[in-house]
Amino acid sequence: DVKVTQSSRYLVKRTGEKVFLECVQDMDHENMFWYRQDPGLGLRLIYFSYDVKMKEKGDIPEGYSVSREKKERFSLILESASTNQTSMYLCASSPGLAISTDTQYFGPGTRLTVL
Amino acid sequence: AQSVTQPDIHITVSEGASLELRCNYSYGATPYLFWYVQSPGQGLQLLLKYFSGDTLVQGIKGFEAEFKRSQSSFNLRKPSVHWSDAAEYFCAVGDRGGKLIFGQGTELSVKP
């Protein structure tokens, strides 16, 4: 079974703090993704990565950065957390065999609250 | 621009009744279409996907979906709902670059 794990299920941070969200997949997948999920808006793509050290902006990258130093690990960084970044963050990975039709496998999510 | 619309935010059905969740998409070329389910406290799990061939697609847990190009729809169906089907359901369209564009989600409640 593919397993995507996220470092925390719940996280509470203060405005202005630097926040790291970690994601690890154990299936040697090429592609990894970060989404945020908000009620009524579905999932929106923040950043994704096709390969180690490569990253692409998604639909809402402002206020976020990412790091992929190893194939299995993809980190989302909030440089200076703000209250409007309070959300559920979901990480996903996909094999990279056929990028358009690959199944994405999701982690359980991290619910981040910024006070 | 590509987009996905799920017109129903919340649906309640009785256990044993049939289910249809609606999904409409906007995409210039032949779309790649997906349905995911999110059970409470969990990540998303793929139910089924369509990218070519037979327009009626079978998925896991007894779900199926039908691609109708003329209506730009990809509705999800199940003939008999179980209490364990209560969850949030997301329709998504995939672009050629591997990005998924998700709909707003439909929350399903199941009455005993």
CATH number for position A67: 2.60.40.10
Give residue-wise pLDDT tens across range A3-39.
899 999 999 999 999 999 999 999 999 999 999 999 9
* Residues A27/A18, Cβ–Cβ less than 8 Å: no
pLDDT average, residue stretch B10-16: 97
In this prediction, what percent of chain B has a pLDDT beyond 90? Answer: 76
Q: How far is CA A33 from CA A3, A58, A92, B50, B100, in A?
A: 14, 9, 5, 21, 10
Structural domains in chain B, sorted by start? 3-111 (2.60.40.10)
| Least CB–CB distance from B102: residue in A43, A105, A109 | A43
Look at residue B30 in the predicted model and tell me its pLDDT.
77
Which residue bears the tokens 């909030």?
A78
CB–CB contact A100 B98 (8 Å): yes
Burial of A108 (0-12, 13-18, 19+ CB in 10 A): middle
Look at residue A99 in the predicted model and tell me its pLDDT.
66
Cβ neighbours, 10 Å, residue A26: 12
Residue A28: both structure tokens together: 């040697």
* Residues B48/B59, Cβ–Cβ less than 8 Å: yes
Give residue-wise pLDDT tens across range A41-72.
999 999 999 889 889 999 999 999 999 999 99
Cβ neighbours, 10 Å, residue B30: 11
Look at residue A57 in the predicted model and tell me its pLDDT.
93
How many domains does one find in chain A? 1
- Which range of residues forms the domain containing residue A93? 4-114
Q: Which residues of A touch B (CB under 8 A)?
A: 4, 31, 35, 40-45, 48, 50, 58, 90, 92, 94, 99-109
Q: How far is CA A23 from CA A66, A77, A78, B15, B63, in A?
A: 11, 11, 14, 37, 30
For testing the chain A interface, which of B44, B50, B101, B106 should be mutated: the one with the most A CBs within 10 Å? B44
pLDDT average, residue stretch A79-96: 95
